[in-house]
Amino acid sequence: MEFSKDLLLEIHDNIKPFINKTPVLEFDFINELCNCNVYFKCENFQKTGSFKIRAASNALRCLPKESKEKGVITHSSGNFAQGLACASSLQDINAYIVMPENAPEFKKHSVLKYDINLIECKSTIEAREKTTSKLLIENDLHFIHPSNDLNVILGNSTIGTELLEEITDLDFILSPIGGGGLISGIAIASNIFSNKCKVVGVEPKLVDDAYRSLKSGVIQYNTNTNTIADGLRTNLGDINFPIIKKLIKDIICVSEDEIIDALKIFIERLDIIIEPSSAVALAGLINKKEYYKNKKVGVVISGGNVDLEALNI
Amino acid sequence: MEFSKDLLLEIHDNIKPFINKTPVLEFDFINELCNCNVYFKCENFQKTGSFKIRAASNALRCLPKESKEKGVITHSSGNFAQGLACASSLQDINAYIVMPENAPEFKKHSVLKYDINLIECKSTIEAREKTTSKLLIENDLHFIHPSNDLNVILGNSTIGTELLEEITDLDFILSPIGGGGLISGIAIASNIFSNKCKVVGVEPKLVDDAYRSLKSGVIQYNTNTNTIADGLRTNLGDINFPIIKKLIKDIICVSEDEIIDALKIFIERLDIIIEPSSAVALAGLINKKEYYKNKKVGVVISGGNVDLEALNI
C-alpha cells in the first residue's frame, strides 16, 4: 500500500481523457455554519454523475490486452454500473452489466445509453451472483469489483490528487465510507501529496460496519441495511481494509436525521441535488464542527444520481 | 466602450478577493442533446448566489474616497440587493438597501445577514424611488444602479474574462439579457480576449424589449412583464445600450414553455437548482441548436436564488 507520487500522477494522466476534472466549491453559508473553511469536491458533476467512472476507467486501462479483448462484467444497480458502462464505451471494451430487474427505470436508462450488454436478473444477491458467474464463464470475461480492487482504488485516488493539487494545505478530508474503495483511494493520495492532511470516514450509524471493523481490526458486517444512504450499505473488502486500517484513524457515525438535515442543506441552501450517500460527509462535519473549527476541510460529494421524487424527504 | 486588456485584467485582479472564481461545467447530457460542446459558467455558485457581487464589488471599489466614507444606496428586491450587501460588508462601506415590504422573507433574510441598513417601503416603483431618493439626500449617499452603470458593467466583464481564460476557443457565449448590465460586460471581455467569440443575448418573448431595441436602434420598453424569468423584466439603459448595439448582433427570444423545459433539464438532469432567469440562455441554445451544431458554446448561468416550492413548476 506504499505507492509513489509518480505512479499516482501517471494514473491521473492516463485517465484524464475519460473523466471530468470536477470543481471544488466553497459556500459562505457552510463556512459560517461550521466555523471553518470547507471545500467540496464535487463528484456529482463527474461524468455519469459519480466518482465511479474514475475507478472503472483505471481498472479497464490496467487490464491485460487479452482481457480487454474478451470483455468485462460487473453486477450493480447503482453508480458503478453507469461508470463501467461509460468507461468501457470510451475505451472500446465489451462490457456486461448485470442489474436486478426491479432497478429503477432511470438507472437502466442511464446504462443503456452506452453500447453495453445489460442483463437483468431477479433482485436477490444470489441471482445476481449466479447470473454474473454464468456469463463470466460462458464468455471468458473479467469480473471488476466496484470497491475491492486495487486498480479501482487507485482510480479513486485521483479525487485526492486533484483536491490536494487545488487546495494544497487541507487539514482534513471527510469522505463517505461504504464499500471502502473511495476512502482508501483518497487516503493513498493524501498520504503522498500532503504531510498533514488526515482522511476521516463518515458512515450512517445504521450501517456502522466500517467503524466497528476499524475498532476490532477485523471486517465486520451489517445485520440491518435500512439507511437512506443506499450507496453505503455495502461492506469493506480484503483489498481496501488493510489500506483503511493503516491510513484512516477516525470514522464518524451519523444518524438518519443528520443525513437528511445535511441533504436538505444541499438542496435548499446550496442549490445542488445530490444522493443521500453524498450528504453523509457533510453530516459528519456538522456533527463534529467544534473539532474542525478554523481548519481547512475537504468534503467529498461522491455522486448526484437520485430520483428526487422517490426520495420524498 | 473600447477598453484595454490591461484594464480588464486589473479589474479582475482587484475584485478577486471579494468573489469566487466560479466553475465551468460540462455535461454529456447537454452536449449530446445540442450536438455541440457546451460550457456552463456557473454564477449560481458565486458568493450570494449570483453574478451581482462582481458588479457591486467593482462599483464600490471605483468610488471616490468621499463617497466610500458616506455610503451607498440601491433599491432592489433581488440579487443586486444581496450582491451589494455582501460587497459593501467586505469593503467596509456603509450601504442602504431599499426593499419592497412584500419581498419574500428568504430574500430579506439573505440581505440582513450582512451589516447593512435594510429599509422597507411599499411595493410600488414610486415608493421605492421616493424612499431611496429621500435617504440619499438626507445622508448624502451615492446611488448604485444594478445594471446601467459603467463600473457595474466592467465588474460583470470578469465573467467573460474568466470563461475565456479557461476555454480559450469558444465560438459563442449565450447570456440572458435583462437590464443589459450582464451581457454588455461579457461582450466587452469577449471583444478583448477572443478574436472570434460572438456574444448572443437570450430573453423571454414576453419581455422582448432588448430584441426590439436592437432592431429599432432605440431603447424599447415592455408593456407586459409577466414572465417566469423575473430577473429579466427590467429594461436596458443609456450606459449599456450603446455597448450592446455595438457588440451584440443577435438576440434569441424564447417562450415561457421553453424556459420551463430548460429549467426542468437543470433540476432533473443536471441536478442544479437555478432561478428561471438563468435557464433562459440554455432555452435559447436548444431553440437554435441546429445553428450551434459542432460549435463551442459558453452558456452563462446568472444565478441560483430561487424558492423552489414557490416556483411550482
| pLDDT tens digits, one per residue of A139-197 | 999 999 999 999 999 999 999 999 999 999 999 999 999 999 999 999 999 999 999 99
271-300 of B, contacting A, C-beta below 8 A: 271-274
Chain A residue whose CA is closest to B22: A25
Nearest CA in chain B to A303: B271
Question: What percent of chain B shows pLDDT beyond 70?
Answer: 98
Q: Would you place residue A205 in the very low, low, confident or very high pLDDT band (cuts 50, 70, 90)? A: very high
Distance (Å, whole) CA B202 – CA B182: 12
Is B20 in Cβ contact with A26 (below 8 Å)?
yes
Contact of B154 with B3, CB cutoff 8 Å = yes
* pLDDT computed for residue B102 by the predictor: 85
Does B77 have pLDDT greater than 80? no
Of the pLDDT bands very low, low, confident and very high (cuts 50, 70, 90), residue B312 is low
Which of B21, B166, B269, B271 is the best residue to mutate to test the A interface, defined by the most A CB atoms within 10 Å of its own CB? B271
Residues B18-52 pLDDT 10s: 999 999 999 999 999 999 999 999 999 999 999 99
Q: Between the CA of residue A47 and those of A21, A100, B80, what are the distances in Å?
A: 9, 23, 34
pTM recorded for the entire structure = 0.86
Q: Which residues, 6+ apart, have CB-to-CB distance to A180 below 8 Å?
A: A147, A148, A210, A236, A237, A240, A241, A244
Residue A59 CA, distance from chain mean position: 14
CB contact at 8 A, A79 and A305: yes
- Mutate which of A25, A114, A271, A302 to disrupt the B interface (most B C-beta within 10 Å)? A271
User: Where does the pLDDT of residue B268 fall: very low under 50, low under 70, confident under 90, or very high at 90 and above?
Assistant: confident
- pLDDT at B113 > cutoff 70: yes
The span from the CA of B188 to the CA of B192, in Å, is: 7
| Predicted pLDDT at B313 | 64
Mean of all residue pLDDT scores within chain A: 94
pLDDT band at A1 (very low <50, low <70, confident <90, very high): low
Residue B257 predicted with pLDDT over 70: yes
Please answer whether residues B122 and B102 qualify as being in contact, where contact means their C-beta atoms are separated by less than 8 angstroms.
no
Chain A CB contacts of B268 below 8 Å: 308
Predicted confidence at residue A118, as pLDDT, reads 96
Mean predicted confidence (pLDDT) in B82-104: 94
Q: Is A33 on the interface with B (CB under 8 A)?
A: no
Domain spanning B53-143 has what CATH number? 3.40.50.1100
B271 to A274: CB separation less than 8 angstroms, yes or no: yes
Query: Distance (Å, rounded) from C-alpha B248 to C-alpha B118?
Result: 36
The SS3 call for residue A118 is strand
Interface confidence (ipTM) of the complex: 0.76
**Confidence check: pLDDT of B237 > 80:** yes
Of the candidates B76, B77, B190, B213, the residue annotated as catalytic is: B77
Domain B5-50+149-311 has CATH 3.40.50.1100: yes
Residues in chain A closer than 8 A to B28 (CB atoms) = 47
Q: For chain A, say whether B311 makes contact (Cβ under 8 Å).
A: no
Q: Is B173 left (phi over 0), alpha (psi -120 to 50) or beta?
A: beta
pLDDT tens, position by position, A75-113: 987 899 999 999 999 999 999 999 988 888 888 888 999
Q: Per-residue pLDDT averaged across A198-219, rounded?
A: 96
Mean pLDDT of all residues in chain B? 94
Catalytic residue flag (residue A52): yes
B52 is a catalytic site residue: yes
Give residue A312's pLDDT.
67
Mean pLDDT for B81-98 is 97
pLDDT score recorded for residue B103: 83
Number of CB pairs < 8 Å for A and B?
Answer: 37
- Strand positions, DSSP E, B43-183: 72-75, 95-100, 117-121, 142-143, 172-176
Q: How confident is the model at residue B126 (pLDDT cuts 50, 70, 90)?
A: confident
**Residue B124 has what pLDDT?**
83
The segment(s) of chain B belonging to CATH 3.40.50.1100 are: 5-50+149-311, 53-143
Region A270-284: mean pLDDT is: 95
A304–B contact, CB cutoff 8 A: yes
CB B163 within 8 A of CB B173: yes
The answer to whether the Cβ–Cβ distance between B273 and A273 falls below 8 Å is: yes
Q: Which residue has the higher pLDDT, B11 or A110?
A: B11
Q: Are B183 and B177 in contact (CB under 8 A)?
A: yes
> Cβ contact (<8 Å) for A272 and B267?
no
